[in-house]
Every structure is written in structure tokens, then in C-alpha cells.
């Protein structure tokens, strides 16, 4: 059995949650991983931006600040029970970024039969994140969020990650769910390292 098939068998209808600071490649890796695993890719930012456009919650994603926890609980957590997600594995991008949200995320996913099997942490130095942002601006990279063109908003996102998300990751480490990956590599190498790490988890289970 190859790595992908091994991961699929181990993952079943479970979920993998990917975290990392801005410009670490969470969504890029997440989308490619989801394709490999025939999984559904879900980004909390995309879910919340859709809710903002539909006037289901107040705008906040473009400010750089994390969405308030009560809004996150109301909009994102029920999403896991959507009929179209039933019996499908999930690859998540930063679902539950604020310290204190993680236990609710774990419980909601388990209740929806998408139990969290692993949390991938894409480690990237802030200096590299800033360099990637500048490079993306120079190249007109469409993958760069529009609000990231504002350096104050981007710095705010980094600060939110430091203050609110890093404690979440420490919690996952203590639970033994975290897998750390060096994100200061090519996208192909990062994805390859993620697949190998998940395959190793599958073999141990």
C-alpha cells in the first residue's frame, strides 16, 4: 500500500487541520492534500468571508483581526454537519485560531464524525513571511489576499497569530496531535513532507 492509500485508510472520514502564520502556504498545501485524499477542503477564512458577504455576520476578516469567538462558533462549527460533507474526510485550514476555541473544534468535528486525526503546523520564520509578502506584491501574485497589500493589516495578522494562535498549537502538541513541518522550502517539498509525516502516523496507528 502506498503512502496516499495508507493515509486514506487511516483517515477514513476524519479531519486534518493545517495551521501556520500568513504566507506559510496553508491553503496551497491544504488544497493539494485534499485532492490527493479525495477530501473536502475547508478554510475558516473562506467560510467567514462568505458569511460576511451574505450579511450573516459583521465584517472582520479584512481588518487582520481574528473573528470573535462567538461569531466563529455560530458560523463555522455548524458547517461540519452539512449533508454534503457526510462520509467525506476533511482537510481544514486554520479552523479554530483563537486560544480557547480548540476544544470546541475537536468536539464539533467528532460529533459530526470528522474526528481530528492530525494537526499540521507549517513553521515559517516571520522574516520569510515578510519576504514572501513583498515578493508576491512585486510579482502581482493573485494568491496574495487583497488586504495583505496593507502592511499594517499584514502585521496585525502576524500579531494575532503570535498572541492567539500559538497557544492553540501548544494545546494540540500536548494532546499528541501536532506534526511540525518546515515551511521554508518549495511548495512541492512541503507537501511531500506533509504526506510522509501523515503516512508515518498512519503506520503507527
- 143-194 confidence digits (pLDDT tens): 566 667 789 999 999 999 999 999 999 999 999 999 999 999 999 999 999 9
Of the candidates 18, 60, 78, 75, which has an alpha carbon nearest to the alpha carbon of residue 153?
60
- Domains in the chain, number: 1
Query: Which residues constitute the domain of residue 155?
Result: 3-204
| Percent of the chain whose predicted confidence (pLDDT) is above 90 | 81
pLDDT at 100: 95
End-to-end CA distance of the chain: 15
Mean of the pLDDT values across residues 93-111?
Answer: 97
Q: What is the pLDDT of residues 105-137, one digit of tens each?
A: 999 999 999 999 999 999 999 999 999 999 988
Query: Which one-letter DSSP state was computed for residue 87?
Result: T
- CATH of residue 130: 3.40.50.300
Out of 28-37, 49-58, 102-111, 194-203, least confident range: 49-58
State how far the Cα of 114 lies from the Cα of 110, in Å rounded to an integer. 5
What whole-number distance in Å separates Cα of residue 45 and Cα of residue 10? 27
Average pLDDT score over residue span 80-96:
97
**Which stretches of the chain are assigned E, i.e. beta strand?**
15-20, 40-43, 90-93, 116-123, 178-182
Amino acid at each position: 500500500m502506498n503512502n496516499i492509500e495508507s493515509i486514506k485508510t487511516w483517515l477514513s472520514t476524519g479531519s486534518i487541520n493545517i495551521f501556520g502564520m500568513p504566507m506559510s502556504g496553508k491553503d496551497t498545501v491544504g488544497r493539494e492534500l485534499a485532492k490527493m485524499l479525495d477530501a473536502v477542503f475547508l478554510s475558516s477564512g473562506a467560510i467567514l468571508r462568505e458569511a460576511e458577504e451574505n450579511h450573516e455576520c459583521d465584517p472582520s476578516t479584512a481588518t487582520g483581526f481574528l473573528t470573535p469567538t462567538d461569531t466563529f462558533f455560530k458560523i463555522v462549527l455548524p458547517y461540519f454537519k452539512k449533508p454534503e460533507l457526510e462520509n467525506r474526510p476533511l482537510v481544514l485550514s486554520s479552523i479554530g485560531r483563537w486560544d480557547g476555541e480548540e476544544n470546541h473544534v475537536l468536539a464539533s468535528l467528532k460529533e459530526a464524525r470528522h474526528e481530528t486525526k492530525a494537526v499540521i503546523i507549517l513553521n515559517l520564520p516571520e522574516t520569510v513571511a515578510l519576504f514572501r509578502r513583498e515578493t508576491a506584491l512585486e510579482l502581482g501574485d493573485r494568491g496574495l489576499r487583497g488586504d495583505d497589500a496593507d502592511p499594517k493589516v499584514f502585521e496585525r495578522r502576524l500579531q494575532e497569530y503570535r498572541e492567539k494562535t500559538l497557544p492553540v498549537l501548544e494545546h494540540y502538541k500536548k494532546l499528541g496531535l501536532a506534526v511540525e513541518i518546515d515551511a521554508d522550502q518549495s511548495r512541492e517539498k512541503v507537501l511531500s513532507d506533509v504526506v510522509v509525516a501523515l503516512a508515518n502516523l498512519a503506520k503507527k496507528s
